[in-house]
């Protein structure tokens, strides 16, 4: 076997270099870790697959170093409407251009441009080695390290060693196969013809994103990023995949939207069979799974790629803590404990939406239309909005847990992002204060922490941030203080009854406290949670 340059053990080896693997590589190498990536294809896939990410996804991408490119890669998705076969609006959503994390609630994007920006950013990081054109054919966990064997097209094999291996290698993950985990399949799958199109002349679409719930042929029209558009058509029961998967069929169906060879270029057409499933085990020894390797879902909630970004953002800071010796290896068990229920909710929500959209029984579709038309006339309650939202708090793991093992509010909540000011600068919190964990407080953190507590938090790289009211002169913000320019943080603290909130590096709240004693309790709980002898979670 050929001895490769990566035989001197990397910190983390990533299998697969799609968007999820790219983000993980940037997160880890950006923290100074030695990362090796093995990708079976010599070049990136030139066509789009995913077409959107949400506000949290944009925040993650900005932190990975490509925030300045997001305006070129994508555009705010705009409104989203469901109509029935008669053209009546069953559902209408005005997608906010400013979501919880500051970025648009949904961004429509062109995936090849996104990947190009991520790859270019990765090329600037000294600790990142990317090996393309080699297929992983073996993975062995040796207990203290893992060994990965890759094979080049000429048959030459290379051995690579790493302390941890993460499979970001898609729905047919080789790494997942090596873990032996079972998959839970929700049994919901349909075939859709995907058509990626470039129009020859700019056209305004109202709504910008349209779902036609026609039992004869459910179909979709959505933005796919600047200059690109996607149409999707569900396969009917009377036709085969082979009959649908032709250029002639694509143009015939695109004519329903006045799209034809005279005014458009068909970049790609392909029949895609979506499914809904998740892995039961996301960690086996030194092998971990993320993205489509750990879960797949229908496209109807637009959460597939962002779910993968959430996976690696949760995982990367924990791997970094374990590699740096500030946490025991059992911290990695909280990865699946936190992410699996979160992903499962997004999958189930996507399935529920899909069952409504993919209804092909005319009578059942009529009943659906009647209910949805009546519902559309009623105001949406907060409870109903939360029920159909993919954004859910974490329910367990490394959080401030009460006596019954449940998170104590605001533990597990995704913290918002707004603009803050200090001196002569105004910008997003993450840019102004920096990435990593943070203690955000209405008071001077020095008054809330003992010397030992402060030393512990600073040893974790925690930023101590006092938030000042909007009307404060930013030139008076000193010692890590910032002015809450958008009123986001003081509102969040007040709503949760907190004087201070301890925020993890993945933007989720570890917990909140009303006074100094509460902050001390939070710090003690975090110290215990990171300790090497932390009990493994029960599944």
CATH class of 419-530: alpha beta
pLDDT beyond 60 at 7? no
* Residue 165 to residues 11, 136, 282, 292, Cα–Cα distance (Å): 9, 12, 12, 16
pLDDT in tens, 192-224: 999 999 999 999 999 999 999 999 999 999 999
Confidence band for 3, pLDDT divided at 50, 70 and 90: very low
Q: What backbone phi and psi angles, to 5 degrees, belong to 271?
A: -85, 120
Instruction: Count other C-beta atoms under 10 Å from residue 358's C-beta.
Output: 18
CA–centroid distance for 60 within its chain? 8
Please tell me the pTM assigned to this model. Answer: 0.95
185: preceding bond cis by omega (within 30 degrees): no
The gap from C-alpha 39 to its chain's centroid, in whole angstroms, comes to 21
Both tokens of residue 167?
């499979």
Residue-wise pLDDT for 428-469, tens only, equals: 999 999 999 999 999 999 899 999 999 999 999 999 999 999
Spatial contact of 493 and 423, defined as CB atoms under 8 Å apart: no
Cα–Cα distance, 376 to 507 (Å, whole number): 34
CATH 3.50.50.60 domain span(s) along the chain? 2-75+104-184+278-350
Nearest alpha-carbon partner for 398 in 384, 388, 412: 412
Pick from 35, 124, 111, 80: nearest CA to 353 = 80
CATH superfamily, with its number, for domain 2-75+104-184+278-350 = FAD/NAD(P)-binding domain (3.50.50.60)
Mean pLDDT over each residue of the chain, to the nearest integer: 94
Place of tokens 């209804």: 359
Structure tokens at 374: 């009546």
Calpha distance 226→46 (Å, rounded): 16
Check pLDDT > 70 for residue 535: no
Q: Which strand (E) or helix (H) includes residue 361?
A: none
Q: What is the mean pLDDT of the segment spanning 70-98?
A: 96
pLDDT of 387 > 60? The answer is: no
Domain(s) labelled CATH 3.40.30.120 in the chain stretch across 419-530
**Span 459-483, average pLDDT:** 96
Question: Distances in Å between the alpha carbon of 441 and those of 60, 414, 429, 430?
Answer: 23, 16, 14, 16
Mean per-residue pLDDT, 158-174: 98
Instruction: Give me 403's structure tokens.
Output: 């006596």
Q: What is the pLDDT of residue 389?
A: 61
Burial group, residue 475, by CB count within 10 angstroms (0-12, 13-18, 19+): exposed
Residue from 300, 283, 277, 276 nearest 220 by CA: 300
Q: Is residue 46 classed as helix, strand or coil in its secondary structure?
A: coil
pLDDT in tens, 310-339: 999 999 999 999 999 999 999 999 999 999
Coil vs helix vs strand at 198 = strand
The alpha carbon of residue 380 and the mean position of all alpha carbons in its chain are separated, in whole angstroms, by: 26
Average the pLDDT over each of 103-112, 121-130, 154-163, 391-400 and give the range with the smallest value.
391-400
Give the pLDDT band (50/70/90) at residue 380.
low
Q: Can you tell me the distance from the alpha carbon of 487 to that of 471, in angstroms, rounded to the nearest whole number?
A: 10
CA distance 394 to 310: 12
In this structure, the strands spanning 463-468 and 438-441 are parallel
Paired residues of 229 in beta bridges: 197, 223
* C-alpha closest to that of 499 among 487, 483, 511, 486: 511
């Amino acid at each position: 076997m050929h001895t490769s340059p990566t035989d001197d053990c990397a910190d983390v080896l990533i299998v697969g270099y799609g968007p999820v693997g790219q983000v993980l590589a940037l997160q880890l190498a950006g923290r100074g870790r030695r990362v090796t990536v093995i990708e079976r294809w010599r070049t990136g896939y030139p066509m789009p697959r995913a077409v959107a990410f949400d506000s949290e996804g944009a925040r993650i991408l900005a932190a990975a170093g490509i925030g300045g490119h997001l305006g070129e890669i994508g555009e705010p998705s705009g409104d989203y409407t469901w109509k029935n076969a008669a053209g009546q609006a069953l559902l209408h959503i005005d997608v906010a251009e400013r979501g919880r994390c500051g970025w648009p609630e949904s961004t429509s994007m062109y995936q090849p441009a996104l990947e190009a920006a991520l790859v270019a950013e990765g090329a600037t990081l000294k600790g990142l080695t990317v090996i393309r054109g080699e297929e992983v054919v073996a993975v062995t966990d040796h207990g203290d390290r893992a060994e990965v064997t890759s094979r080049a097209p000429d048959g030459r094999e290379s051995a690579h060693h790493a302390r941890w291996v993460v499979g970001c290698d898609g729905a047919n993950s080789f790494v997942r196969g090596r873990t032996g985990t079972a998959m839970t399949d929700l049994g919901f799958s349909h075939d859709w013809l995907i058509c990626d199109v470039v129009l020859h002349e700019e056209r305004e679409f109202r709504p910008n994103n349209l779902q036609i719930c026609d039992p004869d042929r459910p179909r979709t029209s959505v933005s796919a990023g600047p200059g690109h558009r996607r149409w999707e058509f569900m396969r009917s029961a009377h036709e085969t995949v082979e009959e649908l998967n032709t250029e002639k069929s694509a143009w015939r169906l695109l004519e329903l939207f006045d799209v034809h060879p005279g005014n458009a270029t068909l970049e790609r057409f392909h029949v895609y069979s979506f499914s809904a499933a998740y892995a039961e085990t996301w960690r086996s020894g030194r092998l971990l799974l993320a993205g489509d390797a750990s879960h797949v879902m229908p496209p109807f909630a637009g959460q597939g790629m962002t779910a993968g970004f959430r996976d690696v953002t949760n995982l990367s800071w924990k791997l970094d803590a374990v590699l740096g010796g500030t946490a025991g290896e059992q911290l990695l068990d909280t990865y699946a404990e936190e992410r699996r229920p979160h992903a499962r909710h997004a999958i189930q929500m996507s399935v529920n939406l899909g069952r409504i959209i993919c209804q092909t029984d005319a009578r059942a579709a009529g009943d659906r239309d009647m209910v949805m038309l009546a519902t559309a006339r009623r105001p949406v309650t907060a409870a109903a909005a939360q029920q159909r939202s993919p954004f859910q708090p974490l329910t367990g793991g490394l959080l401030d847990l009460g006596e019954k093992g449940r998170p104590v509010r605001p533990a597990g909540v995704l913290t918002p992002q707004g603009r803050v000011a200090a001196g002569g600068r105004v910008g997003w919190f993450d840019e102004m204060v920096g990435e990593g964990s943070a203690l955000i407080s209405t008071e001077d953190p020095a008054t809330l922490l003992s010397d030992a507590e402060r030393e512990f938090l600073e040893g974790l790289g925690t930023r101590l941030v006092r938030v000042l009211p909007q009307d404060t002169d930013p030139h008076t913000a000193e010692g890590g203080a910032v002015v809450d320019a958008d009123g986001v943080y003081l509102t969040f603290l007040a709503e949760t009854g907190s004087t201070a909130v301890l925020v993890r590096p993945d933007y989720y709240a570890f917990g909140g406290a009303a006074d100094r004693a509460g902050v001390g309790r939070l710090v003690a709980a975090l110290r215990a949670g990171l300790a090497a002898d932390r009990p493994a979670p029960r599944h």
